[in-house]
Chains A and B, each alone.
Chain A
């Protein structure tokens, strides 16, 4: 008689997922250590260095927070959009649009930080929203696939940033390449080089989690994402909800761009989005659709990025970092899938006597 030793569960318990993810991370670290050892590096020494320069020191922690800040917002942007069943692949472009709009305000409006910063914030959010407007309307009214439209706009936003930073807005003071001049205002720092954008991002993520689970709007979004037909049946205006969610998503990514300009980089630079928009997709996938999970997911991603920089100082190429990121995410994906399986007991009678219910 054929017996299968494992059975697939329709939904994987959260505890198993967490456990298998830990296993996946440890396994990938082990594989990475082996490869590094074979290529003549000392994994132990590298590990010590990485831990010291990330979690193990104040400077490391500050760096981590700076990496986490944009990842929290872009991760939340993708997650919120995913709640209604849509993929915002354009957080990168909306990030740039927010950064450009905020920089425009900073370059054009002269005043105290108290007036300029709120204006920059609004400009950042509106910039991100503006960048997703066309994909939003195309999706809501014509059913155009938002994955394609949001993705394509990324390239335009990125090139627009290069144009501005080498053209009209180029730094005429210090002559820095592909950059505007340093802007006059900045988000105040709260802890070392960590600016107040970081706690604000955390609060936003927690707030979003509450909005999605505790408001009528959030409920309608969840229903619309789980089954649009059921949403229409319940009289939920699905089209309006799609528009509001996508605009919110764009606004979050735009705010991430503004924070980066006003808090971390202090100027607009070509390439400054640093893949934060795309990594937001990774964060959202790791978070499995839950806003609160975005926080640990962003932390993991920030750790990987930060470790990558440390490793680059040790003559490891940037491609190695990408490979390592890929490996860890790949192993986590396997772990998530395996979490759906549970071993079957060899002898069944005792095992099933407890559950004598037929659904």
Chain B
């Protein structure tokens, strides 16, 4: 079906680094992969594109020996191979960098690089390991600090350690699952530079991604999975983002200007619902993580918050939802001072919260879907009456939420962790939207979702806006932010640098604010 193309003009007869033939992988009641053929050639960056649950991660887990396929064969350099463990795969030159890093946080970078490596010296002092790590780091062009503890590193630095771990073990095929999800734009550029250098040495990269622009930028060829099967493999040069998106989803994506209100939508309320006045937060170590933030949230308005992750967005979210106490400043709800941080109080006032790490902090994985859907409304009728918990009413609520979220659930009594991550996210989002009668604080609500689901999620936000709810939309995706926000604030080092109307905002200005440039400097620069 796909004649292997030969973009880099390899010598005839060169076998692909990796060939998959008819791979099938089944889970109870689910076909994760079926009839998947894939060729990855030396010297190419091969993108793997697909919606959530399309089977990308499963396929890569099969390739790296985490799963064994029920059908089909894996051919490496022309020879059939079976991997019963990831160790065997890495010995054969296949290394994977997972989306969620698998590093020992309490260990140093050097220790992590040497952990479980058969070439690690038998007796090694920290100095020796650090010197070796430094050498590896320079050889592959990924700068790291060998003596730093992993828990002190940024996500981008941790990813470099992961990559080095794999490259040090002589990987010729590097598989990366959503590598840019946690990176800043600058870190992404560095990563891509290094990947291109890796490719230039005749190695291959498989990159799993949702981000079409990145696929267009970095890959030579792109394979699209849908429903566990491969739809096709294309030369990236022959593709464009809209065609890829359409192939991936199997339907056309409607892009609409989401800032214009439909007929009958609630106007922006003149009086703010919630106000922050000079709010600061210090963490346990005394570091000021939120610095003197003042902002007003108006009903019927979406306030976008841009900024590189880790610049105080988490603290802002937690202060706005009562999860974190402020160190100084004032919070006003409907003009009244809120004197204590109590999430129940904020929820009762109609503040919904889609947290950043929703799978970890907004769900109880081992409990039923029903119990999880009741988390926000268990204390009020019809579920909670006279101190009782009405399981039947909770079941009805769960049914409603699942219906609105368009998640198909065979059994509401099963633990929610049995659902895919994407479906869990959708359920959390719908649950929070239900209680958000005044304010919704949505932290990275589109993270990890595919294009179709992102469009749906943004639609949720504008619907709420039209109903007169104040929406705080925190995101790293400037395009999404500009599409739906009325005003955009930019966070940098715990400060809200500036809040500007989205209509007139240009990406360059926001980018400079994200990089910590003072608004006054930017204006002065523009005036020159």
Contacts and interface: CB of A to CB of B under 8 A. Distances in A.
A235 interface: yes
B228 interface: yes
B29 A355 contact: yes
Interface in A327-359: 342, 344, 348, 351-352, 354-359
Given A10-B418, A357-B408, A358-B228, A348 B26 contact: yes
B343 A233 contact: yes
Interface stretch (A20-28, A214-222, A290-298): A214-222
B374 A219 contact: yes
B445 to A, nearest CB: 16
A232 interface: yes
B509 interface: no
B391 interface: yes
B190 interface: no
Interface stretch (A62-70, A173-181, A223-231, A248-256): A223-231
B387 A215 contact: yes
A84 to B, nearest CB: 12
A229 B360 CA distance: 8
Interface string B352-366: 010100001111111
A30 B414 CA distance: 36
Contacts of B227: 358
A223 B344 CA distance: 14
A139 to B, nearest CB: 20
B345 A235 contact: yes
B371 A219 contact: yes
Contacts of B71: 348
Given A230-B362, A235-B345, A359 B30 contact: yes
Nearest to B58: A358
A233 B374 contact: no
B69 interface: yes
A215 B228 CA distance: 43
B389 A219 contact: yes
A11 B227 CA distance: 25
Contacts of A234: 343-344, 347, 375-376
A2 interface: yes
Contacts of B364: 222-223, 226-227, 230-231
Contact of A222 (B70, B84, B367): B367
B300 interface: no
Contact of A223 (B84, B347, B371): B371
Interface in B332-362: 342-347, 353, 355, 360-362
A152 interface: no
B367 A356 contact: no
Contacts of A222: 364, 367, 371
B384 interface: yes
A230 B363 CA distance: 6
A356 B389 contact: no
A348 B32 CA distance: 13
Contacts of B360: 227, 229
A21 to B, nearest CB: 21
B73 interface: yes
Contacts of A342: 28
A47 to B, nearest CB: 40
Contacts of B361: 227, 229-230, 233
A220 B27 CA distance: 33
B343 A214 contact: no
Contacts of A355: 28-31
Given A222-B371, A233-B343, A2 B84 contact: yes
A39 interface: no
Contacts of A3: 68, 70
B82 A2 contact: yes
B378 A216 contact: yes
A235 B26 contact: no
B275 to A, nearest CB: 21
Among B29, B69, B345, B408, chain A packs the most CB atoms within 10 A around the CB of: B29
A235 B418 contact: no
A1 B371 contact: no
A357 B30 contact: yes
Contacts of A7: 27-28
Contact of B417 (A1, A10, A233, A344): A10
B20 to A, nearest CB: 12
A216 B387 contact: yes
A232 B28 contact: no
Interface in B50-101: 53-55, 68-73, 82-84
A9 B28 CA distance: 8
B391 A213 contact: yes
Contacts of B355: 233
Given A1-B82, A235-B344, A235-B347, A227 B365 contact: yes
A348 B70 contact: yes
Nearest to A230: B364
A213 B365 CA distance: 17
A215 B388 contact: yes
Nearest to A234: B375
Contact of B418 (A11, A216, A227, A236): A11
Contacts of A231: 364
B24 interface: yes
B153 interface: no
Contacts of B342: 235
A358 B375 contact: no
Among A214, A218, A223, A233, chain B packs the most CB atoms within 10 A around the CB of: A233
A10 B322 CA distance: 34
A233 B376 CA distance: 9
Contacts of A218: 389
B2 interface: no
Contact of B419 (A11, A235, A359): A359
B31 A216 contact: no
B268 interface: no
A2 B68 contact: yes
B366 A216 contact: no
Interface in B180-205: none
Contacts of B390: 214
B523 interface: no
A232 B419 CA distance: 23
Nearest to B318: A233
Interface in B83-140: 83-84
A75 B13 CA distance: 70
A9 B414 CA distance: 13
B365 A216 contact: no
B387 A227 contact: no
B340 to A, nearest CB: 12
Nearest to A223: B364
List the 5 shortest-distance A-B pairs measured between CB atoms, nearest first: A235-B344, A226-B364, A355-B29, A235-B343, A227-B364
26 contacts: A1-B68, A1-B72, A3-B68, A3-B70, A11-B415, A214-B391, A216-B378, A219-B371, A219-B374, A220-B378, A223-B375, A226-B365, A226-B366, A227-B365, A231-B364, A232-B343, A233-B362, A342-B28, A355-B29, A355-B30, A358-B53, A358-B54, A358-B227, A358-B228, A359-B30, A359-B420
Interface of A: 1-4, 7, 9-11, 213-220, 222-223, 226-227, 229-236, 342, 344, 348, 351-352, 354-359
Given A230-B361, A233-B343, 17 more contacts: A2-B68, A9-B28, A214-B389, A215-B387, A216-B384, A217-B387, A219-B389, A222-B364, A223-B371, A227-B363, A232-B323, A233-B353, A234-B347, A235-B343, A351-B26, A356-B31, A359-B419
Interface of B: 24, 26-32, 53-55, 68-73, 82-84, 227-228, 322-323, 342-347, 353, 355, 360-367, 371, 374-376, 378-379, 384, 387-391, 408, 414-415, 417-420, 423
